[in-house]
Every structure is written in C-alpha cells, then in structure tokens.
Amino acid sequence: MTDLKDVAQLAGVSRATAARAFATPDVVREATRELVFAAARTLNFRPNRLGRQFRLQATHMIGVVVPNLLNPVFAEQFQAMERVARVHGYNLLLATTDYDSAREAEVVEDLLRQRVDGLVLTVTDAQDNPLLDALSREATPFVLAYHQPTRADFSAVSVDNRAGMQLATEHLLQLGHTHIGMVAGPALQSDRARLRYQGYCDALQARGLKPMPVIEMPAHTRADLIVLAPWLRGLEAPTALVCSNDLLAISVIAELRRGGRQVPRHLSVIGFDGIALGTQIHPSLCSVVQPIEALAQAVIDQLLALIGGGAPASICLPCHIRPGDSIALTWSIPHEKVR
C-alpha cells in the first residue's frame, strides 16, 4: 500500500515536507508543493485526514442547519458560506429541519456526533428554544443566522426584519395604498415572520391606520387561493399585500392570476428576501433585499472567531428595497373589478 514515505521519495523531498504540503500547503514553496501533489497523483495517494483530525481534535467541518432548501434564500446563503469557509480550510455539512423544532434537536445532535468544530443555525424560534439553551452549555460554538436574539451570550448575524418590513409597508403607503394586508405562513411560526409583522404594524400605526390580522397560509412558501379569496372582498379589502418571504409572494401572484386578478393592475404585491428568481418572473417582484453575501461572510467570520476563543457578538445588517413591476400606484387600480 502506498504511503506518505513513497510520495516523498518520488517527489524527492523529506517525509516531513510532504506532510506539510498536505497539512499546511501555504507554508510550502509552490514548486515543492506541486512536486508532492504530482507524486501523489502518480501513486494514487490520498492523505488520511481522519487520523490528523483525531490528533488535532478538530475536523475543520462546520454544521449548517436551515429550515429547508425549497426557499432559495437558504440555498444562496449556504453557497455563499461555503465559498467563505473554503478560503479558511473548512467544509460544510448541511441538515434541514422543515420548521420542525423536534427535528432541530435531532439534526444538531447528529452533527455534534460528527465532531463538527462549530454550528450555523437557522431555527424556528430563537427566543424560547431549549435546544439553544442546551447548546450554550456545550463546548461547540454556534452562530445564529437571520435571528435577532435578546440574549447577549448568543452570537448572531441577522438583518433587521422589523425595519425591513416597515420599509416595505411604507413604500406601499407612499404609493397611496391605505388598505394593506400581510401574508405569512402558519401562525407566524417563524420568529422572523413575527418581527416582520411587527414592522408592518409599525408602518400602518404611524399613519394612524389599523393593521389587518395576518392572512395565514397553510405553508411558509406556498399560497392558497381558497384561503386568500375571502380577504379580497368588500370595501375594506387590501389593494396591496406584503409577504413574509419571496417564494410566498411569487405563489400569491400565481394564485391571484388563477383567480382572475392581475398584479399589479388589481393588487400590488411585495416580497421579502430579494432572491434572484424574483427578477426573472413577470411581473418582476418588488422585494426587501437581504444582503446574503455579507451575511454569509459575517456568519463564518464570527464562527471562526468563536472557534478561536473569541467572545459572542451580534451583528444586524441593513436591507433595502429592490424595485419591481409587482407594485403600482393605488389610484391606478380599477377597484370595481376587484370587489
């Protein structure tokens, strides 16, 4: 069986130099490094990382937990984090929970058993979560992504969900809309959705307007015309809808079209996330943009700082409105065709 000694001999270097080429390639001269790698390819040799990880008590693996990958915002986040982590010599392990708090505990336990060096978590609710309480007593550091926790001992990187949805609602108010509804998933199960509803209420109440109850859909990213239709009847029916995420907004637009209503001719719709897909549909989706690349960079930087013995910190990033054709001035809406 080929071993490191054979590779070193073929490359014409010492065994120690060959070992450094694999373990810390940056400290080995490029020409020497290439000789070692070429010899390894010739001999079909791959170093045993497990043994080295065991000796160092580090796997250079980061566990990442997200609700699902059906929402592109989490897929875009994972890809951006992977690019950053690779620069620092780390790989990512991904697990999904489908907004199930019991499954959150299961997948985190599985990742801990795989000896990940740290965790990036997007959970259902970060405010009252036994899993996070238990993790705070573990040695493995973690960073919350998208959450705005009230506990100073939790590290988190988020966007300002409340301010972002307030911004979206104010944007519609400036277009003349005074009857604005908010569409979200089941019972505002996500703490992000609850903060976004508070931002929606803030904007309306600042204008002396009464917020509507949440128009609750059966799924976080899928609308249902049967549930939506009763809200769109009568003189107090909304002329605009803010949605708790972009996929839900896209689904709302499709359901409205299925019911004979055009966006924005009959109803304006705005989303939250800023996923690329929103720019590729017709009408293009107006959305609150989360800075995913900046969030991914900050999450990995913060987690590596914790792994290195740093103190917990929370970062809240600003978001902005991406214009789109899914909204219009309220006086351009033919009300008689909507009722």
More confident residue, 191 or 237: 237
Nearest to 253 by CA among 223, 279, 291, 274: 223
pLDDT in tens, 197-229: 999 999 999 999 999 999 999 888 899 999 999
What is residue 107's predicted lDDT score, i.e. its pLDDT? 93
Q: State the pLDDT confidence band at 147, using cuts at 50, 70 and 90.
A: confident
What is the residue-averaged pLDDT of the chain?
88
Q: Would the pLDDT of 249 be above 90?
A: yes
What is residue 27's predicted lDDT score, i.e. its pLDDT? 79
Q: Give the mean pLDDT of 67-85.
A: 90
**Encoded tokens for 28:** 């080995």
Q: State the pLDDT confidence band at 189, using cuts at 50, 70 and 90.
A: low
**305 with 277: CB under 8 angstroms?**
no
Q: State the pLDDT confidence band at 190, using cuts at 50, 70 and 90.
A: confident
Q: Would the pLDDT of 305 be above 80?
A: yes
Q: Would the pLDDT of 47 be above 90?
A: no
Give the C-alpha separation, 295 to 243, whole Å.
Answer: 21
Contacting residues for 320 by C-beta, under 8 A, at least 6 apart: 167, 288, 289
Residue 47 main-chain phi, psi, to 5 deg: -70, 150
What is residue 331's predicted lDDT score, i.e. its pLDDT? 58
Q: Could you tell me which CATH class the domain 161-290+322-337 is placed in?
A: alpha beta
Q: State the pLDDT confidence band at 335, using cuts at 50, 70 and 90.
A: very low
Judge if 56-159+291-318 and 161-290+322-337 fold alike in CATH terms. yes
For residue 335, how many other CB atoms are within 10 A of its CB? 12
Q: Is the pTM of this model over 0.85?
A: no
Q: Would the pLDDT of 183 be above 90?
A: yes
Ranges assigned E (strand) in the chain: 61-66, 91-96, 118-121, 142-145, 155-159, 180-184, 215-216, 240-243, 268-273, 286-289, 314-317, 320-322
Q: Would the pLDDT of 58 be above 70?
A: no
More confident residue, 18 or 175: 175
Residue ranges covered by each domain of the chain? 4-47, 56-159+291-318, 161-290+322-337
Q: Would the pLDDT of 50 be above 60?
A: no
Q: Would the pLDDT of 57 be above 70?
A: no
Give the C-alpha separation, 84 to 81, whole Å.
Answer: 5
pLDDT exceeding 70 applies to what percent of the chain? 93
Give the C-alpha separation, 144 to 314, whole Å.
Answer: 9
Q: State the pLDDT confidence band at 54, using cuts at 50, 70 and 90.
A: very low
Q: State the pLDDT confidence band at 186, using cuts at 50, 70 and 90.
A: confident
What is residue 56's predicted lDDT score, i.e. its pLDDT? 47
Q: State the pLDDT confidence band at 237, using cuts at 50, 70 and 90.
A: very high
Structural Rg of the chain based on CA atoms: 25
Residue 61 main-chain phi, psi, to 5 deg: -120, 140
Q: Would the pLDDT of 259 be above 80?
A: yes
Would you state the CATH architecture of domain 56-159+291-318? 3-Layer(aba) Sandwich (3.40)
Cross-strand partners of 52? none
The DSSP call for residue 290 is P
The DSSP call for residue 185 is S
**Encoded tokens for 280:** 């590729």
Give the C-alpha separation, 329 to 177, whole Å.
Answer: 7
Nearest to 193 by CA among 118, 122, 87, 113: 122
Q: State the pLDDT confidence band at 323, using cuts at 50, 70 and 90.
A: very high
